[in-house]
Amino acid sequence: MTLTTPALLFPAISLLLLAYTNRFLTLAQLIRKLADEERTQHHEGNAKQIVLLRRRISLTKRMQLAGVLSFLFCTLSMFALFLSLDLPGVVLFGASLVLLSVSLIYSCWEIQISTNALNVQLQDIEALVASGSRRSLSSKEHHDHAE
């Protein structure tokens, strides 16, 4: 294996870490918004969202950690190969690939939870729409009977 093989992962891991950072920032923004809403008015669906957000933050932390470790092992692999230590270089590169895979698995898991959180939000909206349409039908029927 040559020094350029692990170097091929550098752009991919860098972009992945950037995407993970964006996810983390979005989660932080959602949590702050939810906290502000909860302080002003208690909403029943917020409790479900808080549980899902806590899981997502935990998974995001794990996927970031695995991604950073993958990047570190990739760098160490390149360094070992630079020093002509082929076996340690190959082992470190293999560990880097495993950590990258773990990071991607955590990412898939976080996406699944994110989708569930959106479904909770959609259920709340559907309930509001249904109760709103029932109220408007009820007031329309009341109006029709009055005439």
Across 7-11, 114-118, 132-136, least confident range: 132-136
Judged on CB neighbours under 10 Å (0-12, 13-18, 19+), 96 is buried
> Which pLDDT belongs to residue 94?
96
100, 110, 138 from 71: Cα distances, Å: 8, 20, 61
Helix H segments across the chain? 4-7, 9-40, 46-82, 86-146
Length of the chain, in residues: 147
Check residues 30 and 121 and name the one with the higher pLDDT: 30
> Which pLDDT belongs to residue 122?
85
Gap between the Cα atoms of 111 and 68, Å rounded: 19
Residue 67 scores a pLDDT above 90: yes
> Which pLDDT belongs to residue 66?
96
